[in-house]
Structure 1
Amino acid sequence: MNEAADRTGNPPGSHMTAEIAEQPQVFAELLGRRRAIGEVAARIAERRPRFVLLAARGSSDHAAVYAKYLIEILLELPAGLVSPSTATLYGARPDLTDVLLLSVSQSGGSPDLLEVTESGRRHGATTVAITNNPGSALNEAAEMSVDIHAGPEQAVAATKSYSATLLALYLLIDAVRGGSGEQAGTIPELAQTALDTSDGAVDEAVQRYRFANGMITTGRGYSSATAAEAALKLAETSYLSARAYSGADLLHGPVAAVDTETAVLALCSSGRGGEAMRPVLDTVHEHGADICVIGSAASEVRAAHRIGVASCAEELAPVLEVLPVQRLALGLALARDVDPDSPRGLHKVTRTR
């Protein structure tokens, strides 16, 4: 019997399985809190920030990449990712007047993000914490906060807290531009459909890749965030060596290492990002790679295996396409005799500085 099951009395992966299944309800509850998010957005809009910085680690860093695309496309503001060590290790204290600093952390417990937020606020930034822990030190340090309301998460690998962070960021950024979040109204139902209909295709993918030594994950546009999250999920749950590249970066050198022994997980949803993946996957196919495509445009590109997802507004696709990614990571972990609830050497809250 799996050692972790002996210690906890729960079957391996039971927490991760349950938390993946909770996501449609989490989305519905988050949509019901749009008014509170809108109030934060209104205060941000009043400040008229000239630039947006995003501070995050781990899965939250991938959510920040998604937010960067939203900010640059929907708000047409420049945005960048903070390097926390510039503040924590090197003591840099830039002037952040008229800058919006979004600190994204599911736990709100990482010391480096706390220090970056405190420093940013002292040096002129409008600071907003996006967390799953309204009582965290990060929430107290920031001027404003958005609670993603995903509920307690027991598995080490983030699932519902990650996807809820994506949706919260979309609702916040859409509201800053004066939107009502209307495009997200059907997300709970579409998420339930994605979970209900993907089992067979995910199970086939598990059998196809259970003995893979490594995998490349790739996507463009909004989906590049999902590619990064997919690589992390595969590495931390099933110990599969995975490397994420944007579709554009994959062609700038790494494709030379792709051959018939290479497994590629590609995120392709309807829209400009998915369309831009066509020539990427054509090239990867010519190199002989085994390609698995996830997304609403899965049937429209070259692949050996496909996991379809319902179509929605392109900027919301990462909220849906990550669901079969999580299922795949869970299935591969169990198939490789790993308990994804308790990966070796990992803890739910990682404290870095």
Structure 2
Amino acid sequence: MTTDIGEQPAGFARLLSAEHAGPIARVAEVIARRRPRHVVFTARGTSDHAALYGAYLTEIRLGIPAGLASPSTITVFGARPDLSDALVVGVSQSGGSPDLVEVIRVARASGALTLAVTNAPQSPLARAAELSVDIAAGHERAVAATKTYTAELLALLLLVEGIRNGDGSLPAVERAALDALPDLAARTLADPTPTQLAARYRFAARLVTTGRGYAYPTAREAALKLMETSYLPALAFSGADLLHGPLAMTDPDVPVLAVVGSGLGGRSMREVLPRLGERRADVVVVGSADVEGATRMAVPDVDERYAPLLDILPLQRLALSLALARGEDPDAPRGLKKVTSTM
């Protein structure tokens, strides 16, 4: 897991290279020409959080309704929704989950434009879809996904921005900003704060993660990593949902990891943080926002769309360090496999 996490800056650079960004741009051009009326994502586990990020991007940047499919409606209940005007995107690091393959197969049969976003370009999911994107993350050693998650995020970002521009290209200013990500990721990974916090939370009984907008998928992925590697019950809420009841369970004994950037989503979290203060919650802020009086895992300030690629990095390292501090093996969590087959 340590090696996988450390390879993410190089992974960003590889995916941004002409060899891999070029094919994504060509897929984006095809989708732009087809002009889908709505977008449906299907995914499981960590990839489901990448898909949620893709849904935010799609609605905000493209103005197209987007949502996440429930595979069981097709695989268990036999539903055959009319997806003839949709783009249906399967997101999976392995491309091997039978339920996702079946959703793509059914969607394609109903007339949908189908796309696989996967780290396995020869996988069943990639073969089932009309189009495919290789996230080019390389072999992931640990069971808990880290570098494949951020590669999925970057691939979806390149895809959506390419669709927005119509021909798959990116404006020069945006391309320059993306080219800075590998160096920013390396700088983020060099911060020792996550290791220091692991000692602080070694005996925590439960934990809460929260964020809004583009940061919400980060909060959900952080909670999953903590549960996978440390077996620590971690509940993820959007900042808005946290105020609708779950706030009551926060107190000085329940650490709260709040993903707060400098964009609109981060600003909307400013109403959440004082309420956590009223509860005397143990809050750690993750992101570029400087919140007075809060412990912080600092992340470079970038465009809000790019922030999830950096914000998750210290949280991955916290999950890794916390697992080790609690005497667990983060490379091989109990009961988990790299590929989970569900229907």
TM-score over 0.5 for the pair: yes
Matched, 1:344 2:334: yes
1:249 counterpart residue number: 241
How many corresponding residue pairs? 334
Counterpart selection for 1:331 from 304, 317, 321: 321
CA deviations 1:8-55 (Å, max 9, x no partner) are: xxxxxxxx0001000000000000121110000000000000000000
> What is the one-letter code of the residue matched to 1:149?
A
**Amino acid corresponding to residue 315 of structure 1 in structure 2:** R
The equivalent residue for 1:36 is 23
State the partner residue of 1:309.
299
Q: Which residue is equivalent to 2:221?
A: 229
User: Unpaired runs of 5+ in structure 1?
Assistant: 1-15
Distance in 2 between the 1:286 and 1:348 partners?
A: 41
**Structure 2 contact 285–291 (Cα < 8 Å) conserved:** no
Structure 1 residue corresponding to 2:78, chosen from 88, 91, 113 = 91
User: What is the aligned partner in structure 1 of residue 186 from structure 2?
Assistant: 192
Query: Separation in 2 of the partners of 1:189 and 1:259?
Result: 37
Task: Return the offset for 1:314.
Answer: 0.5
Q: Work out whether 1:67 is the aligned partner of 2:54.
A: yes
Separation in structure 2 between the aligned mates of residue 345 and residue 19 of structure 1, nearest angstrom: 20
| Other-structure match for 1:10 | none
How large is the Cα RMSD of the aligned pairs?
A: 0.9
1:46 to 33, 49, 63: 33
Cα distance in 1 for partners of 2:137, 2:253 equals 39
| Runs of 4+ with deviation above 4 angstroms | none
C-alpha separation in 2, matches of 1:261 and 1:236: 21
Q: Which residue of 2 aligns with 1:13?
A: none
Following the alignment from structure 1 to structure 2, what is the Cα–Cα distance between the partners of residues 260 and 334? 24
Q: Deviations over 1:42-94 (max 9, x none)?
A: 00000000000000000000001101110000001100100000000011111
What residue in structure 1 maps to residue 161 of structure 2? 174
CA distance in 1, matches of 2:95, 2:311: 25
2:89 aligns with 102
Unaligned runs of 5+ in 2: none
In 1: Cα distance, 2:145 partner to 2:274 partner: 32
**Aligned mates of 1:161, 1:259 — CA distance in 2:** 34
Match of 1:100, SS state, is strand
Match of 2:4 in 1: 19
TM-score, normalised to structure 1's length?
Answer: 0.93
Q: Is the 8 A contact 1:109 1:136 kept in 2?
A: yes
Aligned pair partner of 1:162 in 149, 156, 159: 149
- Residue 80 of structure 1 pairs with residue 67 of structure 2: yes
- Structure 2 counterpart of 1:6: none
Verify: 1:126 aligned to 2:116, yes or no: no
Pick from 285, 291, 294 the counterpart of residue 300 of structure 1.
291
- Deviation string, structure 1 residues 178-210 (Cα, Å, up to 9, x no partner): 1515132211111011112x12x1122111111
Match of 1:119, SS?
helix
1: CA distance between counterparts of 2:21 and 2:195? 36
The 8 Å contact of residues 285 and 302 in structure 1, kept in 2 or not, is answered as: no
CA positional deviation for 1:121: 0.2
Whether the 8 Å contact between 1:206 and 1:331 is mirrored in structure 2 is yes
Partner of 2:253: 261
The answer (yes or no) to whether the contact 1:27–1:167 under 8 Å persists in 2 is yes
Offset at residue 300 of structure 1 (A):
2.6
Query: Secondary structure, in 3 states, of the residue corresponding to 2:39?
Result: strand
1:106-148 Cα shifts (integer Å, max 9, x gaps): 0000000000000000001100000000110000000000000
Identity in percent: 56
Equivalence for 1:215: 207
Deviation per CA, 1:323-351, whole angstroms, max 9, x where unpaired?
00100000000000000000000000011
Contact 1:47–1:98, Cα closer than 8 Å, also in 2: no
- In 2, the alpha carbon distance for the partners of 1:291 and 1:343 equals 27
Q: CA deviation at 1:260?
A: 2.0
Map 1:111-150 → 2, pairs under 5 A: 111-150=98-137
Selected match of 2:197 from 196, 205, 208:
205
Structure 1 residue 302 displacement after superposition: 5.1
Does the C-alpha gap of structure 1 residues 302 and 97 become closer, same or farther in structure 2, counting only changes over 3 Å? Answer: farther
